Amino acid sequence: MTSELGGATDLRGLELTVEKLVPGGEGFLRLPDGQALFVRGGAPGDRIRLGAVEKQRGTLHTSDYELLSPSPERVVPECPVAHACGGCDLMHISRPAELAQKASMLKEALERVAGVAAAPEAFGAGAASSGYRSRVRFHIGRHGKLGFFARGTHQLVEVPGCAVADPRINQALASIRRLARRFPDALTGFTDVELRATETDVIARFVPRDGIKPIAADPFLRALAKELRVAATEREAQALSERRSITADVFVDIPADAFSQINTAVNRELIAAVVAGAAARGLKSFCDLFAGVGNFALPLARSGLSGVMVERTPSAVQAAQRAATAQSIGKLKARTADASRALTDLVREGQRFDLVVLDPPREGAPDVVAGIPGLSPRAVAYVACDPVTLSRDLKPLLAAGLQVSSVQAFDMFPRTHHFETLVWLEAAGASSSK
């Protein structure tokens, strides 16, 4: 028997077993009345006794429960603040279980949302579970404390370092703490510091609390600049580009305001899969609709395809163009525009491409995918970091006659519920030597 009590549902004392993980990283189980309950920090196979249950936007959630019998897949997190920090939400389960649950999430989302029955290919083997992040943003709290917000709150959890960060980032964090003790008021004028581990050094980008670099921080910043590259204003940040070899033979200088993947090794696997897929299908031209700094466009053009990259951030487009010129990568044009607007223009101009590549933000690209058939592609390579929005966006492509030919998963963000998916779609009757 359940009762509604001020937004909370009284299910205290009920003993249940977590069935699986779902997108978002929570455990999932069914109550006796059939309602779904999402269990924060749950692991498949956990036997729990419920405490308080909250209704949030029409669904039931809990983080209040007694663990009666832990799942055999539970492990001791390698991070001492894993349960408090809002970052690595799957650090409490084994790596094999993590990968299996991610594959299951993807398969279920494709079937339930898109009606696609496709078994995802195995995750790439190169994904290290620690030390992989090349970029980490730390919040700065009262008294110069550095850490992350607890999940769903603005409560700062101070951290000694980050288990999934490049070790050089943790060394830089230690340097900041050491110098902050010498200059006690130095950090009070900043809200955050983003640390980037480049191929040669570490960049520290401080974010001023009121938008203006505090004068009191100057001695601290000068001392830190002897160990790291430091920026404390937008102008300084723009001057500190990050050179990244996105493949063995393609590099790009990434500006501060441009997006880049945080897992270099797995990103290379993903790029290789896109380039190999284009070659296997005999594709000769491409349009990259969310190109960023040319993560896919530059390697595709290097491999011999001619193409157009579309990106709305001017500095990212300029970085890709400079990289193409410096490395004699021809047959690549660029448009600085929103993807939806650029797509409309390309269709109106009668442009046609063998391949359309898109790697949109986490919310997907519902306003873009419906227009892609207007480019008459033989194939579409859709790269996504959310299996649900991906599955939603596949529906208009499928309705236009494209067919899913391959689904590959890449563990870009180990120890979290996030991962990347590459779906290949092909026009009916298109030949493939795959």
Angle at 205 between CA 207 and CA 319, to 5 degrees: 115
pLDDT at 16: 97
385 is catalytic: yes
DSSP states along 160-192: S--TTB-HHHHHHHHHHHHHHHHSTTTTTTEEE
The reply to whether 135-231 shares the fold of 4-69 is yes
Question: Where in the chain are the domains?
Answer: 4-69, 98-128+256-427, 135-231
The alpha-helical segments, DSSP class H, found in 33-191 are 95-109, 167-182
Secondary structure of residue 234 in the 3-state scheme = helix
Indicate the class that CATH gives domain 4-69: mainly beta
Q: What is the pLDDT of residue 87?
A: 86
CATH class of this structure's domain 135-231? mainly beta
Put simply, whether the predicted model's pTM sits higher than 0.85 gets the answer yes
CATH architecture of 98-128+256-427: 3-Layer(aba) Sandwich (3.40)
pLDDT at 5: 36
Q: Each residue's pLDDT tens digit in the chain (434 positions)?
A: 344 433 445 789 999 999 999 999 999 999 999 999 999 999 999 999 999 999 988 999 999 999 999 999 999 999 989 888 878 999 999 999 999 999 999 999 999 999 999 878 877 655 688 999 999 999 999 889 999 998 878 899 999 999 999 999 999 999 999 999 999 999 999 999 999 999 999 999 999 998 899 999 999 999 999 999 999 998 898 888 889 999 999 999 999 888 889 999 999 999 999 999 999 999 999 999 999 999 999 999 999 999 999 999 999 999 999 999 999 998 999 999 999 999 999 999 999 999 999 999 999 999 999 999 999 999 999 999 999 999 999 999 999 999 999 999 999 999 999 999 999 999 987 654 43
> Which pairing describes strands 53-56 and 8-9: parallel, antiparallel, or unpaired?
antiparallel
3-state secondary structure of 345: helix
Kindly name the residue from 79, 88, 287, 385 that is annotated as catalytic.
Answer: 385
Closest CA to 137 of 85, 92, 188: 85
